[in-house]
Structure 1
């Protein structure tokens, strides 16, 4: 009685053509394709791999060695250069490995198809098929290379720095960097000064993000619902006025508010607070009042964009829904809770999540208002510093590059985790049948 294996062998038109042999021959790139009678493709692959290997072998080997040692002669070897060349070597090696595996896979798949009766195309058909299948990748390639050297390379450089001892007192080329493993992360959570600063800044960052963003969304929703009411006249004028704060560059607005909130000569103290209450509020020198001021400024800066989103969504809601609700005897709150609010949230949820992520890393307002101040005793961060502005201060003011890189990794993980979790839960990102 024939087995399943025997039946499969009977279905093969060319059983003597061995896919495994094609894959083994492709250990030398191009030879497997030549075995499959794709001579031009095999020759091209062999030449490309040989050229890459001969041109990049010495750079990759020396780069990987330098990545391990980070230099051996102080004042002559710059560890930053060794680190950069090592990262580039890793990227080139990853590309080589990826295309090497694709070369083996391609030879195996072609051999499998030949075994099943596939006819090897001639040169003209081969070029046409290659052009048709590779054209989309050809268009994507420039963007991919730009992404690698503008995003991936700096990101990897920062990640590697987090595991070195790069700081003000150990800066190359005078000194050589060395790998310290997870010591920077351990210091961040075990040394009292670093631990207290980190958790204070992290807690304020979370409070700032939630309070400022939620208030700007709530204000925008309230104003959008009120202005959308059919009894309101001059809608276009009102909407134009509400959009104006968005039209002014944010850094200009922040600098103006910084002057308005100044403790000594600011208009808010001189012409509003002092005449009414006979005192001045220390907006710039007291941590609590500085935080209140920054939150109010962010609400002013952030609500116009969200207001524009909500206004567009409200105008797209059919009036039939509200007419049906009126016939059922629903009041204003019930119509808002069951019709307006769900529609607005469904349409804008991804953008609102981006507002939270943006404010989590909103460096401009923190730095331009009062450079993260006022100072706090026993901390390396100011009273209004959030994680991103603290990292900036550690990098450019204190030259604590290793600690700044370690905190940046933690910051990136927090933002990515929050965004991924929220986007996955958002109905807008689910398939229509799975909502």
Structure 2
């Protein structure tokens, strides 16, 4: 008789049946398991979600695939945004739906094993203990999705449409065109010439300007850290002063100083040698000026960073090197440099990534100029400033979005590759 009762209980709380019921509608599996409060909550949540968002999701998904059907009535941009929001809402709903199914199955298995049904207070306490991290992470995750992920996916979506000045809603409907924008970057002459020219200059700008500011900062830090140097605090204060001045103020001052006609560099310095350099009107000299300005702006931070690291290196290492007959170069190569790079490598990598997208100096100095014949970008435009011009000057939103994706892939790929090779991000070990 007891075996019959136990078998009847097993059949009554079959995990498969609980899962099927939860798949049909959230909460039914919990009600089947006699978890009435939890089942009611799941049931109400799904019912409320369907009532509140069913029409919104229907229009959103339709608009995401079609981008509208009637010009001047359907707005492709609004439909695209509504579609992306719908995808996010569906993602939340699916996560809760899957949790409901797994919970129903787990409850049914516990009932089969004869585990005691927890009281409401015990269930609430257990949910609080296990879900504490998720409770506090969820609001931030929601904000992240709508503040970061949604605009990012919207930009990525525009790269696969024909959204530009001559085809903009609501007058016209947008169309999905696949990878045509990316193909145009490397096939249509004006786009091809501009893209590869700007890309080359962006790489040169990033490598040269960042390496110079790091090299200058390291050199000055080593110099000031030398025991023979006096008045270290005063020297460090003067070297950090450029960092204290807002960057945009410094850039605007330098822009005036490098002016071809009335700038102080040409008029008060180079004029004594009979030289007048076209800093703003010639692309080559404009690039040289930008690299020098960025070196001036960037070295104080690197200097401060390296100074702090150098003071933490034990003097015993250098004394041991002196005993072994090590030269200054050997001590720098095998003691100072490895220690400095180990401690600062992630921040130095971010310096390169930051200069790759350093829009401020390019725009404030001469707005990416001067103009170059046969290209739709200025002579000193880097990729990010070119994207700005395409967006706000010529309204080529689709091409700007395509280039933005390329920028993101380059920066992310470089950062991931370098971080994985950096010992600072690996298990701590001996230098």
The alignment's TM-score, normalised by the length of structure 2, stands at 0.95
The residue that corresponds to 2:283 in the other structure is: 287
Q: Distance in 2 between matches of 1:422 and 1:81?
A: 39
Shift of 1:178: 1.4
Q: 1:329 to 1:110 in 2, by over 3 A?
A: farther
The residue that corresponds to 1:170 in the other structure is: 167
Q: Distance in 1 between matches of 2:52 and 2:391?
A: 37
Shift of 1:133: 2.0
The residue that corresponds to 1:7 in the other structure is: none
The residue that corresponds to 1:9 in the other structure is: none
Q: Distance in 2 between matches of 1:225 and 1:433?
A: 25
Is 1:71 the counterpart of 2:68? The answer is: yes
Shift of 1:69: 1.9
Contact map agreement 1:37 1:120 (CA 8 A) in 2: no
Work out which of the residue numbers 203, 215, 219 in structure 2 matches 1:218.
Answer: 215
Shift of 1:106: 2.3
The residue that corresponds to 2:4 in the other structure is: none
Is 1:399 the counterpart of 2:395? The answer is: yes
Q: 1:325 to 1:16 in 2, by over 3 A?
A: farther
The residue that corresponds to 1:104 in the other structure is: 101
Shift of 1:15: 8.6
The residue that corresponds to 2:259 in the other structure is: 262
Q: Distance in 1 between matches of 2:179 and 2:317?
A: 58
Shift of 1:134: 2.1
What is the DSSP-based 3-state SS (H/G/I as helix, E as strand, rest coil) of the residue aligned with 2:386? helix
Contact map agreement 2:243 2:301 (CA 8 A) in 1: yes
Work out which of the residue numbers 330, 336, 359 in structure 2 matches 1:334.
Answer: 330
Shift of 1:117: 4.6
Contact map agreement 2:257 2:265 (CA 8 A) in 1: yes
Work out which of the residue numbers 341, 345, 348 in structure 1 matches 2:344.
Answer: 348
The alignment's TM-score, normalised by the length of structure 1, stands at 0.94
What is the DSSP-based 3-state SS (H/G/I as helix, E as strand, rest coil) of the residue aligned with 1:56? helix
Shift of 1:37: 3.1
Contact map agreement 1:29 1:103 (CA 8 A) in 2: yes
Contact map agreement 1:14 1:117 (CA 8 A) in 2: no
What is the DSSP-based 3-state SS (H/G/I as helix, E as strand, rest coil) of the residue aligned with 1:169? coil
Shift of 1:136: 1.9
Contact map agreement 2:13 2:32 (CA 8 A) in 1: no
Contact map agreement 2:345 2:422 (CA 8 A) in 1: yes
The residue that corresponds to 1:55 in the other structure is: 52
Q: Distance in 1 between matches of 2:427 and 2:27?
A: 43
Shift of 1:20: 2.6
Q: Distance in 1 between matches of 2:186 and 2:130?
A: 51
Work out which of the residue numbers 202, 206, 228 in structure 1 matches 2:203.
Answer: 206
Is 1:187 the counterpart of 2:179? The answer is: no
Q: Distance in 1 between matches of 2:75 and 2:297?
A: 44
Shift of 1:97: 1.4
Q: 1:292 to 1:124 in 2, by over 3 A?
A: same
Q: Distance in 2 between matches of 1:228 and 1:271?
A: 35
Contact map agreement 1:220 1:306 (CA 8 A) in 2: yes
Work out which of the residue numbers 311, 317, 331 in structure 2 matches 1:321.
Answer: 317
Q: Distance in 2 between matches of 1:185 and 1:376?
A: 22
Within-5 A mapping of 1:27-42: 27=23, 28-42=25-39
Shift of 1:288: 0.8
Q: 1:39 to 1:71 in 2, by over 3 A?
A: same
Give the root-mean-square deviation of aligned CA atoms: 1.8
Contact map agreement 1:257 1:297 (CA 8 A) in 2: yes
What is the DSSP-based 3-state SS (H/G/I as helix, E as strand, rest coil) of the residue aligned with 2:156? helix
The residue that corresponds to 1:424 in the other structure is: 420
Q: Distance in 2 between matches of 1:176 and 1:124?
A: 56
- Could you list the runs of 5+ residues in structure 2 that have no partner in the other structure? 1-8
Q: Residue by residue, what CA displacement relative to the aligned partner does 1:389-416 show, whole Å, maximum 9, x if unpaired?
A: 0000000000000111111111111111
Q: Distance in 2 between matches of 1:167 and 1:81?
A: 16
- Could you list the runs of 5+ residues in structure 1 that have no partner in the other structure? 1-12
Q: Distance in 2 between matches of 1:214 and 1:116?
A: 66
Contact map agreement 1:284 1:370 (CA 8 A) in 2: yes
Contact map agreement 2:185 2:195 (CA 8 A) in 1: yes
Work out which of the residue numbers 208, 213, 236 in structure 1 matches 2:233.
Answer: 236
The residue that corresponds to 1:87 in the other structure is: 84
